[in-house]
Amino acid sequence: MMNDDDGPGLVAENLWVGDILNAKNLNLLNRLKITHIINATAEEKMYYPDNFIYLRIPLYDRASERATPFFDQAIDFITSAHADGGLVMIHCAEGVSRSVTLALAYRMHKDDIPLSQAFWQMKSVRPEIEPNPGFLQELRELERVKWGHVVTKEKLTQYDYGFVELDSPLLQLRYRVETYCAGGSYHVGMRQVEVQRNAVLEVARNMELSELESALPSIIFKNFHDFGGNTRRDIEGRANLACILEDVSIINVGFANVIRNVVVTIGSSEEWKEFLVDHPRAPDMIQELKSVIAPGFQYDRYETEE
């Protein structure tokens, strides 16, 4: 493994990780004999489509984002490129989070090593790497898929919150709903949407009504916090929440009643009043959700004001 000054880092055999400046530098790419490029951003364009084979992984660098739906696609792309004798560079904006996450997933898969080993080896080449906390949790879940348990429990970066055991139905539901809401057919494709939907329903079917009722407020607050803007991504994230709650409602009548009741009454809670202080658009967002879950109820946007 090696690093060339401000250039990309060679983090595995024939695999480089870099930033957007590297991705724009045609002379550098040619000197390194790059043949394939993974653009791990939703915002940057493919700069040389006539010179390289590209794959876009449309990730945003925020903790609410989910990279897991793209792991297989990235791994297959790298594996296929190498099989054809190619050299791959993965880049994002800074080369510290999104691109690093995909490279770590590839190394964990190919070399059959835990996250911690892949991380520290990569950090020795590219010291600035710092996947956001959400991505690190996803990589820990990849360990669980591979080995049946999480291996890397220590904190890896300044902002990493370490291993969080998803040992209760409540936490599992929250995590899987968040993953579903961060996806959507436009973002991850219909196949991954169905995988994520089934993951939510699998947990929900094994929950008691009281557990579902307890989990829902925090799920709604987290969704409105993560997708509280007016961008296409935000609108889709909120629409995804309404969609998955509808799907959970179909499981049985009790679930439908619980979900409808929480959505209708959440605006009268003390937590909601506190939430409004930092999220002034929340009344509009809950009205959006009510129009799908409980269309017969109308929300007074001023009902929680003193």
Give the CA radius of gyration of the chain: 21
* Cα gap 170→53, rounded to integer Å: 43
Residue keyed to tokens 């929680």: 304
38: part of which helix (H) or strand (E)?
Answer: strand 36-39
Report in angstroms the alpha-carbon separations of 247 from 9, 58, 241. 44, 26, 10
* Cα gap 107→270, rounded to integer Å: 46
Provide CB contacts within 8 A for 210, sequence distance 6+.
none
Q: For residues 140 and 71, is the Cβ–Cβ distance under 8 A?
A: no
- Show the tokens assigned to 26: 């045609």
3-state secondary structure of 9: strand
Q: For residues 297 and 287, is the Cβ–Cβ distance under 8 A?
A: no
Crossing angle for the helix pair 232-249 and 253-265, nearest 10 degrees? 140
3-state secondary structure of 11: strand
Q: Is 243 a catalytic residue?
A: no
Q: Which of 78, 92, 173, 177 is catalytic?
A: 92
List active site positions.
92
